[in-house]
Amino acid sequence: MRAVIFDAIGATPEVREVPEPVAPDGGVVVRVHATGLCRSDWHAWAGHDEIALPHVPGHELAGVVSAVGAGVAKWRVGDRVTVPFVCGCGECEWCRQGDAQVCPDQEQPGFTHWGSFAEYVALHAADTNLVAVPETVSFEAAASLGCRFATAYRGLVGRAQVAAGEWVTVIGAGGVGLSAVMIAKALGARVVAVDRNPEALAVAKQLGADHVVVSGGEDGAEVATAVHDLTIGGSHVAVDAVGSEETCSDAIHSLRRRGRHVQIGLLPPVDGHPRVPMARVIAWELDLLGSHGMAAVDYPGMLALIEQGTLRPQDLIERVVGLDEAAAMLPTFDRATVAGMTMIHPVTTN
Ligand SMILES: [Zn+2]
Ligand SMILES: [Zn+2]
């Protein structure tokens, strides 16, 4: 099969013929019809995750089951499926209580094994992790859920429990941030979107953001001050959808007293651990909430809103590319100023 592959950390990704995966016991192989290109793929390529080399990235996918391993009860060849980027083991106490997103024995395609920038991908513990994709939901829309959209959904619904009328500040208007804007508006919240890129903020406006704030640079606003002015006292919920010391701090400082901060962007350590403004967290009694994807068992509520048209993840897709273009884009993805999601079609004739 054809796949995007790199042989060393930071090496130029290539498209090559590689062996097709075999369905593991309890798992399946999926023919990939659509797979998203995400900043997490760049983190793996840049050496921020423990991966075995050579490596095939890709963790946001949808497709059709092409092979079924021993012991799988619920899935058949030909089923349309997607999967959360965190695949739980299905057996531990967290998986049994429906929290496979924090399973200590989790597998992640594109990180713990070869991922979906390929014609085929192996997925583990299929009965725990696969999600049926309704005929009315496209492969592209389904692939966009696996990481960024589902993480934003769980961050706002499951973790921060956003209520109608609350202010939600979203820092970063990339894939996860724009997902958060769309979901917050669907929940009836009022939204402030913050980004360095005015083009990305224009998309956030189209998705319903009530206010946008351009950050950084000489003309950029001081984010927390701008948010406090717009929301008269700070937002109830803030989301760091970027993952940097600055964006995390801006998000926390933009909260009102007793606000809830949701950290979604991966936060690389500075001197061993990220620096977080804990003095404000204590004095204002802020809640810090992590969000790490969403278990397959929680997908039906989100999929119902997509089928109704209340949530339209397909509107977040800005461009569709092939494997060759994806290989070229991967090394620059940390600096990409493009708005919206990039979707890959690994198979030219779907
Ligand atoms: Zn588990
Ligand atoms: Zn992702």
The reported pLDDT for the residue numbered 218 is: 65
- How many whole angstroms from 225 Cα to the centroid of ligand 1? 42
- How many whole angstroms from 106 Cα to the centroid of ligand 1? 6
Q: Please choose, from the candidates 36, 45, 117, the residue with its C-alpha nearest in 3D space to the C-alpha of residue 84.
A: 36
Arithmetic mean of pLDDT over the chain: 94
| CB contact set of 252 (below 8 Å; sequence gap of 6+) | 238, 261, 276, 277, 280, 281, 286, 288
| CB contact set of 313 (below 8 Å; sequence gap of 6+) | 141, 144, 145, 149, 179, 182, 306
Q: Please choose, from the candidates 280, 273, 289, the residue with its C-alpha nearest in 3D space to the C-alpha of residue 254.
A: 280
Ligand nearest to the CA of 110: 2
Ligand nearest to the CA of 61: 2
- How many whole angstroms from 168 Cα to the centroid of ligand 1? 32
Residue ranges with strand state E in the chain: 2-5, 14-17, 28-37, 61-68, 80-82, 120-123, 131-132, 167-171, 190-195, 211-214, 235-240, 255-263, 287-290, 317-321, 341-344
Cis peptide upstream of residue 54 (ω within 30 degrees of 0): yes
| CB contact set of 14 (below 8 Å; sequence gap of 6+) | 4, 5, 6, 327
195 — pLDDT class (breaks 50, 70, 90): very high
Give the Cα separation of 171 and 194 in Å (integer).
Answer: 5
- How many whole angstroms from 143 Cα to the centroid of ligand 2? 10
Question: pLDDT tens digit string along 170-180?
Answer: 999 988 999 99
**Measuring CA to CA, how many Å separate 233 from each of 34, 188, 226, 258, 322?**
43, 19, 10, 11, 46
- How many whole angstroms from 235 Cα to the centroid of ligand 1? 35
| For residues 308-317, average pLDDT | 93
Ligand nearest to the CA of 125: 1
Q: What is the DSSP letter of 308?
A: H
Residue 253 clears pLDDT 70, i.e. is over it: yes
Helical H runs in the chain? Answer: 39-45, 93-96, 126-129, 139-143, 150-153, 175-186, 198-206, 223-231, 245-253, 278-283, 299-308, 323-329
Give the Cα separation of 168 and 227 in Å (integer).
Answer: 10
- How many whole angstroms from 81 Cα to the centroid of ligand 1? 20
- How many whole angstroms from 43 Cα to the centroid of ligand 1? 24
Question: pLDDT tens digit string along 82-122?
Answer: 999 999 999 999 999 999 999 999 999 999 999 999 999 99
- Crossing angle (nearest 10°) for helices 198-206 and 175-186: 30
**Measuring CA to CA, how many Å separate 11 from each of 45, 59, 94, 331, 346?**
8, 20, 37, 9, 21
Give the Cα separation of 154 and 128 in Å (integer).
Answer: 18
- How many whole angstroms from 126 Cα to the centroid of ligand 1? 12
350 — pLDDT class (breaks 50, 70, 90): very low
Ion ligand 1 nearby residues (CB, 5 A): 88-89, 92, 95, 103
Q: Please choose, from the candidates 100, 99, 101, 123, the residue with its C-alpha nearest in 3D space to the C-alpha of residue 110.
A: 123
Q: What is the dihedral of CA 1, 36, 297, 122, to 10 degrees?
A: 10
Taking residue 287's Cβ as centre, other Cβ atoms within 10 Å add up to 14
| For residues 138-153, average pLDDT | 94
- Residue 339 three-state SS: coil
- How many whole angstroms from 347 Cα to the centroid of ligand 1? 32
Residue 349 clears pLDDT 60, i.e. is over it: no
Q: What is the DSSP letter of 20?
A: P
Q: What is the dihedral of CA 214, 219, 225, 226, to 10 degrees?
A: -40
The reported pLDDT for the residue numbered 333 is: 85
- How many whole angstroms from 175 Cα to the centroid of ligand 2? 9
| CB contact set of 3 (below 8 Å; sequence gap of 6+) | 15, 16, 18, 56, 114, 117, 118, 119, 323, 346
130 — pLDDT class (breaks 50, 70, 90): very high
What Rg, from alpha-carbon coordinates, does the chain have? 20
- How many whole angstroms from 217 Cα to the centroid of ligand 2? 27
- How many whole angstroms from 102 Cα to the centroid of ligand 1? 8
pTM: 0.91
